Structure 1
Amino acid sequence: METQKVQKKQCDMKTDLNLLLECLKYQMDCPVSQKEALITIYSICQQNSEASEYFREIGGLMFINDLAKSNVHCIVKEAALFTLGIIIESNVYCQQTLCTSALFEDLILFLINKDSGVNLKRMSVYVILVLVSNNKSGQTYVRDTGCIGLLLQLFRTTLSISEINLSDENTNQCYQLWSSVCSTLCACVNNPQNEDNQNICCSVFPYAKEWLESCTEPEIVRPICSFVGLTVANNLYVQKYFVSVGGLDTLAKVLIKLMHDSCMSHSSTKLAVVVTKTLDACIANDSAMGVVLAKYHTVSELLKLLSNDTLDTGEKISIILTIGHCTEVCAEQLSLKINDNSLNVNNVEELDVQVRKRSLQDYWKKANEILHRIKLIENERDE
């Protein structure tokens, strides 16, 4: 009985997709009907790999691809691109089918066309995102076609640093595009790590630094920290460049501000953890770069953050590992001021219990090593 229900459901799905495809083909003079058909198609295919694969087999995927490029109404282009993105995201074979230099070049045209609205650009960026996600070939195409350069240009120019008002509808639309660009750049450099793309993307670090200096709102800080953290990850050249443009100094200052704000705001505490993880990514491959952080007493700030009872174990572990990287160089270089912010023994024991419950003994061993290192530094200062 259950098998029959599944088979009927699959049969109905295939029938619906066939009818919807026919509707798309024979409603070329009715944009509203085409848009409604596309909405129904992506609602069927969303997170449904089997439906997406079947739609590809009956020629629907390529038809929508051609539809998006044709001289149709803007609302149809937007819906077609979004539907393509949903299907690509749902099925790896659909991703492989459409992952071509030709499609990236088509998307570039959408992005540079002066007649393209913000929403059409956002749909184009979404398709780029799903093409490069978990896909080395997509990461290569986005670079070789010059698409990544266009994304970096959008990162620099879509939002005005001096005019951030997300309650304004026009500004909010631009923010949504900018946020999508940030997510797409993250996918270009990460999973799998792509050093060539990392080396290209670091060119906008000075702009990212300006953003962080001008605004500490979560809507800005989170995307930038994700982008910076993934772009510097396991890439010493990019890490050094970020430090050279003053990026590490800026992150340290942002952390200080958030720690001050965290007394009044839980969201600032959570955001401070995000900044901490980014700091760690910047110095993970060369702890000597952490010397920059000494003048900001970053370890003291991290110890304060670590003592916050609202953080979960994973967040505390991230802070501990960052402290570890900050204290790997000698005490003379660090000039730490931690006398008033030593770890509370009860907090350490409580964290130890939580960590062991989650089978994370290795992390706790690291925490003990860091605690021992901090005590040695304190003793040396007392002498």
Structure 2
Amino acid sequence: MAEIRSDIDVVLECVKCQLKSPTALHQSLMTLSGLFSSDEAKDYVRESGGLLYLYDLLRRTDFPNIKIATLFCLASATEKNVFSQTLLTQHGVFRVIHDSLHSVISSDKLRQAAVFLLLCLVANNSQSQNEARESGCLADLMGMFRYSSYGTQKLVSSGSSVITEARQFGLVTSALSVSINNPQNEENQRLCSTLLPHIFSLVMRVSEPQALCPVLSLVGVMVANNVFNQDRVKKCGGLDTLGSLLCNLSNRSTEEDCLTTAVQVVGALDSCLTDNEVNINKLGEVCGFGPLFSLLTPGLLSQQEQLQVVVTLSHVLQDNSGALAGVSAENYQQLVCLLTQAQDEELVKALKYVLHIIQDSECDKQTAQPEVKPNLK
């Protein structure tokens, strides 16, 4: 650890001495960012005053490359470090990020670096989530997401512009997700729900899994435990879109990419359906629940992926006689077969719970049947 501290001190001193040499300063900042691979290093640069010095440098510099390197350095120093997050959770920091995202003259690299710092500050931090909203950073992210062209055309993986666009789209989507989830932030969820019509329009046009899966994950966290957003999904046609997509993907279960995307669709649907009988019934009208059982065909999914499908089934079937009526004896036997093969403890619990729901439903049906009196004549 002493060696790392010495390296940080030396490189920080280089940064301070190279303020009039942008090229050398840029190199020193990138070298410094590479030293923050441990919590001990992150703690040291914070405790020695280096973190606030870098923030001051970010505010004062007019060189775009230095801004990019400083943003990246700050992000590396705060990533997954609660104390460094707390120190930089200041309105001024978010204002600098907002200016970088909002300015029409900002380059893609500058925006990416700003989004990366925002992502590191907001993750698992409710105060930073609020700062992101109040400073306009969340609105900036929404605008970048809405106007991104990534995923709407056939991707050419070798094109540098596509790689840049993909990286930015992934960062923006991740930053949006952590701004509204873990911890759940209902105000940010509601603000981001204005993106839902655009998201479902995008889902209908996108075919590339690497673009589609992050969007589906965003839908899941945007709607989770939020009745208002669940209702908004239904009103903007999201259940029709997700249901149709699930049917299509489950019919192409021999393609690995389709299975991966299908599990993501199930996760998004789970958030839309949990504790919402109206949405469950609507999905039943769109595609039924057969695709969920199709995905549970032995050999298709890993046990962790099967768990997502089974948990969704439990939310669909619980206290819903209409959904339970669609469960066939074949479906029941399929779940029993999965239970005998399951090794994952959580999957075993989920399967037993779903089977219990179905068994209770059958018992209730038998109890409800009128008693047939024998004909004694």
Normalising by structure 1, report the TM-score.
0.87
Shift of the 377–83 alpha-carbon distance from structure 1 to 2, 3 Å rule, reads farther
- CA distance in 2 between counterparts of 1:233 and 1:132 reads 18
Cα separation, partners in 2 of 1:253 and 1:191, compared to 1, 3 Å: same
* Cα shift readout 1:179-218 (whole Å, capped 9, x = no counterpart): 2111011111111111111111101000100111111321
- In the alignment, structure 2 segments of 5+ residues that lack a partner are 367-377
Aligned CA distance change for structure 1 residues 221 and 120 (closer, same or farther; 3 Å): same
- Secondary structure at the aligned position of 2:207 is classed as coil
Corresponding residue for 1:368? Answer: 355
Aligned mates of 1:231, 1:257 — CA distance in 2: 24
1:106 aligns with 2:93: no
* Counterpart among 39, 48, 61 of residue 58 in structure 1: 48
- Match in the other structure for 1:4: none
Q: Report SS of the residue matched to 2:300.
A: coil
CA 1:324/1:360 → structure 2, altered by over 3 Å: closer, same or farther?
A: closer
Q: Structure 1: state its 5+ residue gaps.
A: 1-9
| Structure 2 counterpart of 1:252, from 239, 243, 247 | 243
Question: Is 1:67 aligned to residue 84 of structure 2?
Answer: no
Aligned partners of 1:289, 1:346: CA distance in 2, in Å? 25
Contact residue 307 and residue 347 of structure 2 kept, 8 A: no
Match of residue 190, structure 1, among 181, 188, 192? 181
Aligned in 2, Cα 1:274/1:207: closer, same or farther, shift over 3 Å?
Answer: same
Return closer, same or farther for 1:342/1:149 CA change in 2, 3 Å cut-off: same
The residue that corresponds to 2:345 in the other structure is: 358
- Whole-Å separation in 2 of the counterparts to 1:58 and 1:143: 30
- Any idea what SS the aligned residue of 1:114 has? coil
Q: Which residue does 1:7 correspond to in 2?
A: none
Is the 1:327–1:374 contact (alpha carbons within 8 Å) kept by the matching residues of 2?
no
The answer on 1:236 being equivalent to 2:224 is no
Give the CA RMSD over aligned residues: 2.6
* Further displaced range: 201-210 or 112-121: 112-121
From 310, 325, 330, give the equivalent of 1:342: 330
Match of 2:32 in 1: 41
Do the aligned partners of 2:36 and 2:77 also contact (CA within 8 Å) in 1? yes
Conserved in 2, the CA contact under 8 Å of 1:31 and 1:76? yes
Question: Partner residue of 2:370?
Answer: none
CA distance 1:378–1:117, shift in 2 (3 Å): farther
- Identity value in percent: 27
Could you tell me how far apart the structure 2 residues matched to 1:363 and 1:347 are?
A: 10
CA offsets, 1:285-305, max 9 Å, x none? 213311111233341111110
1:139 correspondence with 2:129: yes
Pairs aligned (count)? 365
Q: 1:314 aligns with which of 295, 304, 313?
A: 304
Could you give the per-residue CA deviations for residues 115-168 of structure 1, whole angstroms, max 9, x where no partner exists? 211111011011111111111110111111222111111110122664453533
- Letter paired with 1:366: Y
The verdict on how the C-alpha distance between 1:360 and 1:251 changes in structure 2, with shifts beyond 3 A counting, is: closer
Q: Within 5 A, what are the aligned runs for 1:1-383? A: 10-46=1-37, 48-159=38-149, 162-167=152-157, 168-263=159-254, 265-328=255-318, 330=320, 336=326, 342-343=330-331, 345=333, 348-355=336-343, 358=345, 361-372=348-359
Using the size of structure 2 for normalisation, the TM-score is 0.89
Structure 2 distance, partners of 1:185, 1:193, is: 12
